[in-house]
Amino acid sequence: MVSLFSTRRLGPPVAGLLLAASGSGAMAADEPAPGVDGVQQRLDAQSRQIELMKRELARQEAALAELRRELDLNRRGRGDAPPPAGAPAVVAQAPAAESPQPVGQAPAARDRPPEVAPIFEQPGVLTPPGKWIVEPSLQYSYSSSDRIALVGYTVIPAILIGLIDVRNVKSNSFTATLALRRGITNRFELEARIPYVYRFDNTRGREVFTGQPSDEFFVDSSGRGLGDIELIGRYQLNDGGGDSPYYIASLRLKTRTGKDPFEVRTSFQADGARTSGIQEELPTGSGFYSLTPGLTVLIPSDPAVFFGGISYQYSFKRSNVTPNVVPATARANYDEIQPGGVLGFNFGMGLALNERSSFSIGYDHLSVGKTDATFANGSKSEGVRVQLGSLLLGYSYKLNSQRTLNLSLGVGVTRDTPDVQLTLRTPISF
């Protein structure tokens, strides 16, 4: 016999089946036995009923396991804590029939990457379909470098006949960007980025061994204006979910709307004076169109999210380029200029601190290839390969359901990388 207390602990579906079985047994015990054949028929009927109940119980257990699995995936996607051990599972009771009807819809598994504090230019989470995101941002960058040129020749390694030209350059730049993103489908988004650049450089110089007690060379130059507008498309390649990685492909087109290095006025003196090669105005753009395909991978691993990516930037060459050099007799016209390709990779980890804030750390590296230039007279010039590496830290705080505050810090780890980069973003969704 099954007591009322025990049936309550077993839950409504199983309790109902056991009560039905016990009720049938009680009725069988109260009725008089019509004979051996009657008893056998009743036993056969009860065996069939028990077999039906076993199948019904197996279906209920399978449905319960599926609901628990979906609930666990949904809870891990939201970052919720699992239920305490021993907590009863609430399952709707299905009708006691051979073909049970569905009583509800299981929670859908997460099909979008989890959000992390952004530290790279490309976001990890795509914009939902039909939604707009406006992201104003401000970036400050500072770099300093010392340049030493030996003008002369050496008799022995310790003796130089000529001059030692020492220059110290400090560069500051502010870039205000307005980014606009639109979710086209659940897996595809488009983005436009419009930057405004303000730059200023300070350059000091001195010729060593000339008897000058102080710097005889000091130049301040600046530049401001519209930068290079960018158009980006991103597509999520797979469903992901659970512990499976997400793959997001992207394609970036950079225009040349900013003022390029060949348009700014450059002072040059053929007699070798120190003012040779000084830009009177700093450029705000690169001067080349470029395409950058890339692939980003996000791997959820509760409570952290690991991410990384790889990209390659190809710049289209320019022909018949004439720099704005003064005087005109010092101009070196270029028949063709082909910038080197830029291979980039990055990786990092994001960690959710609570429901509103998250923290990210990562590394970004760019390997810039050599630039080839062909002059109008047929001679050629080849640049050098440059390595740019940055250590990045990012913090994110969710102000409300539509606005988030993101702050990232970049520290240069190679000589050609800016010493520090601070970026403040405020994406607003509507």
- In this structure, of 90-99, 163-172, 332-341, the range with the lowest mean pLDDT score is 90-99
Residue 387 sits at φ, ψ, to 5 deg, of -110, 125
If pLDDT is split at 50, 70 and 90, which confidence band does 267 have? confident
- In this structure, of 49-63, 77-91, 299-313, 381-395, the range with the lowest mean pLDDT score is 77-91
Q: In the chain, what are the domain boundaries?
A: 4-74, 132-429
**Predicted local confidence at residue 97, as pLDDT:** 43
**Predicted local confidence at residue 397, as pLDDT:** 93
Q: What is the CATH number of domain 132-429?
A: 2.40.160.40
pTM of the model: 0.68
**Predicted local confidence at residue 378, as pLDDT:** 82
**Predicted local confidence at residue 98, as pLDDT:** 45
If pLDDT is split at 50, 70 and 90, which confidence band does 250 have? very high
pLDDT at 320 over 70: yes
Q: Which of 204-213, 266-275, 331-340 has the highest mean pLDDT?
A: 331-340
Q: Which of 42-56, 143-157, 261-275, 323-337 has the highest mean pLDDT?
A: 42-56
pLDDT at 281 over 50: yes
Rounded Cα distance between 252 and 140, Å, is 23
Quote the percentage of the chain above a pLDDT of 70: 70
- In this structure, of 47-51, 179-183, 404-408, the range with the lowest mean pLDDT score is 47-51
pLDDT at 108 over 50: no
Q: Which of 152-161, 241-250, 393-402 has the highest mean pLDDT?
A: 393-402
**Predicted local confidence at residue 165, as pLDDT:** 57
3-state secondary structure the chain: CCCHHHHHHHCHHHHHHHHHHHHHHHHHHHCCCCCHHHHHHHHHHHHHHHHHHHHHHHHHHHHHHHHHHHHHHHHHHHCCCCCCCCCCCCCCCCCCCCCCCCCCCCCCCCCCCCCCCCCCCCCCCCCCCCCEEEEEEEEEEEEEEEEEEEEEEEEECCEEEEEEEEEEEEEEEEEEEEEEEEECCCCEEEEEEEEEEEEEEEEEEEEECCCCCCCCEEEEEEEEEECCCEEEEEEECCCCECCECEEEEEEEEECCCCCCCCCCCEECCCCCCCCCCEECECCCCCCCCEEEEEEEEEEEECCEEEEEEEEEEEECCEEEECCCEECHHHCCCEEEEECCCEEEEEEEEEEECCCCEEEEEEEEEEEECCCEEEECCCCEEECCCEEEEEEEEEEEEECCCCEEEEEEEEEECCCCCCCEEEEEECCEEC
Q: Answer for the pair 187, 203: CB distance below 8 angstroms, yes or no.
A: no
- In this structure, of 2-11, 46-55, 101-110, the range with the lowest mean pLDDT score is 2-11
**Predicted local confidence at residue 232, as pLDDT:** 96
Residue pLDDT, tens place only, 401-411 = 889 999 999 99
Better-scored residue on pLDDT, 270 or 131: 131
Rounded Cα distance between 275 and 269, Å, is 7
**Predicted local confidence at residue 62, as pLDDT:** 86
**Predicted local confidence at residue 180, as pLDDT:** 96
**Predicted local confidence at residue 145, as pLDDT:** 79
- Computed over every residue of the chain, the mean pLDDT equals 78
If pLDDT is split at 50, 70 and 90, which confidence band does 416 have? confident
What's the whole-number mean pLDDT along residues 15-36? 49
pLDDT at 301 over 80: yes
